[in-house]
Amino acid sequence: MGIMIAKTAGFCYGVKKAVDTVYKEAKEGEVTTLGEIIHNGIVIEDLKSMGVETIDSIEQFKKGKLIIRSHGVCKKTIEKIKDKKIDYIDCTCYDVKKIHNIVELQSGLGKNIIVIGNKNHPEVIGISGWSSKEVVVIKDESCKNILELKTDKEYVIVVQTTYNLDMLNKIVKKIEERKIKYKLENTICKATIDRQREVVELSKKMDHMLVIGGKKSSNTNKLYELAKKNCKNTYFIENASEIDLNFVKKNVKIGIMAGASTPQAIIKEAMKIMSTEITDEMTFEEMLNQSLENRVKTGDIVTGTIIRIVGEEIYVNVQYKSDGIIPAGEYASDKSIKASECVKVGDDIEVYVLTLNDGDGNVVLSKKRIEEHRAFLELEKVYDEKEIVMGKVVEVIKGGLIAVIRENRIFVPASQISASFTKDLNSFVGKELEFNIIEFNKTKRKVVAGRKEIAQKEMAGKRAEIFAKIDVNTRLKGVVRRIVDYGAFVDIGGIDGLIHISELAWCRVKRVTDIINVNDEVEVVIIDIDKEKGKVALSLKAITENPWNDAENKFKVGNTITGKVVRIVDFGAFVEIEPGVDALLHISQISHNHTDSVASVLKVSQEIEAEVIELDLKIKKISISMKALEENPEEDKEKTTTEEEA
């Protein structure tokens, strides 16, 4: 008898993350899952025993923390959760989130969406709920929906992550035969494809196949169907108690495959039960070791059980002839994280095999490498398929920024962070942004990300939308983004408009910062639009009344006015008689007495009283006189002389 366990058997990354999250949160408080977290009855019952409640809709939520399973949910559900201010953790699988983004974007651009998959599956229901248009769901090549597709429409096709690749190809062929315009986004999870390919190859070599997983699980059902085609003695079980021990015989080759929703504990239990029926000279343990010895090799990603923790070293049983060790420093990239505080004996752990023999016969493992490795491979896919990926900016360095994208620290050049020059890169730190991978060198493990192209497209869309709404004399609010010598650039909702220094105020402005500063919120009026060049001219002073209005009456020749000295020059002083209106007080009009220096008589900010002696509205010039309000000593002298002679 020989046993061969598929390399890809058991939890996939997305399901494992969701299940681990529920167990962790359940130990700390009350937890509710939106739908069953996994298509596995044993796990669900175990979680129930821990007090985890499962609900079918947000309306049923009562208290505690809500967890969204890896299948994901529709956009409206997320909005409801946020509206109700529910504390939640989104465990939607990365690959499923990618489909949500595609559907939301493409439907928003007017494209029609086709989802290949089971319309009743929660993943497909969630995907459909991210479309702003009606969605066509196609289950298989015989689905009548194919015949209802319109030849005059454009479709974007996305695929349920656990769908069968061969079936997808058949559906696409049918669509092409109808000459339908389409773009295919092959969103079948890579792990699903690998698992399906392996079960096909394994089932061809075996006398019996054992497929373990939940009966509700879509991916496990597909694995059973594929195995059954090549091996008629294929058994589908949900737990070890369902095993038919009649097939456990001498000289029989048994293959084991488990679905993405099957915990390692169930796989081990199945093996344990089969071992009781072994009567061959080779023990079950020896056969298992022989099987695993062929499948565990350097560079593999395997799941093991922690058997011992010594200091910060973790010993792991990876079902190999020797135990594995995760050395200190190989648990997490963050050196402040202590492995001994995060895990305990008995925990299952996914690890990367660094070497099969460290000189003492031990297998050297790494937990951090598996995260980096998996994420790095995902980045290669992102780069090849020109996908957009989310990342968080964490640090400013020389020449740019560091963003954490899919568990990797990626360099973002300063020139690639936005559509225009950004002086303060610190403003991006802590932000979750969309990026594309602009350089990927697998050999050198060099990855460079950017978002300039994304930002330019966003800006182009916003500009078109804004230009369609605005017109000259439109009054709107904006935020000052940049100040230059000749004015200030204001963000008016996605595009920058310029307030020239002459449009900041009715008065003369020396420095822009005397009036406004960066990040100030201002109300402005559009005074000019150049749609071809994409330029908008703004005015801040147009918000207030022109002080020259009614100047003919306010500053009439002969009127007495009060003003403040704002500037002193050799030939006189400029006096602000109203905000935005300066009048000239010539040196000769300061006093009847001779004045050698204006500065010896007047000071800046000094308030004076004077009489308007000239008003020219065409050139907006006002002349005033202080001495006109004083008595002329010469006239007084002449008057006195005349009186004495009389």
- Read off the DSSP letter of residue 556: -
Q: What are phi and psi of 592, to 5 degrees?
A: -70, -25
Q: Which residues contact 563 (CB under 8 A, 6 or more apart)?
A: 575, 576, 577, 583, 607, 608, 610, 624
- Read off the DSSP letter of residue 139: -
Task: Indicate the pairing of strand 2-5 with strand 53-55.
Answer: unpaired
Element (H, E) at 609: strand 607-616
Residue 474 neighbours by CB distance under 10 Å: 15
Nearest one of 490, 493, 485 to 527, comparing CA atoms? 490
Taking the C-alpha atoms of residue 338 and residue 343, their distance in angstroms, rounded to an integer, is 9
How far is CA 406 from its chain centroid?
11
Secondary structure class of 88 (helix, strand, coil): strand
Nearest one of 218, 259, 223, 253 to 239, comparing CA atoms? 259
Taking the C-alpha atoms of residue 297 and residue 307, their distance in angstroms, rounded to an integer, is 20
Catalytic residue ranges: 123
Secondary structure class of 498 (helix, strand, coil): strand
Taking the C-alpha atoms of residue 632 and residue 132, their distance in angstroms, rounded to an integer, is 84
Q: How far is CA 460 from CA 117, 166, 418, 529, in A?
A: 35, 40, 13, 16
Pinpoint the alpha helices (H) of 470-512: none
Taking the C-alpha atoms of residue 28 and residue 37, their distance in angstroms, rounded to an integer, is 18
Per-residue tokens: 300: 């593999």
User: What sign for the dihedral angle of Cα 599, 604, 606, 608?
Assistant: positive
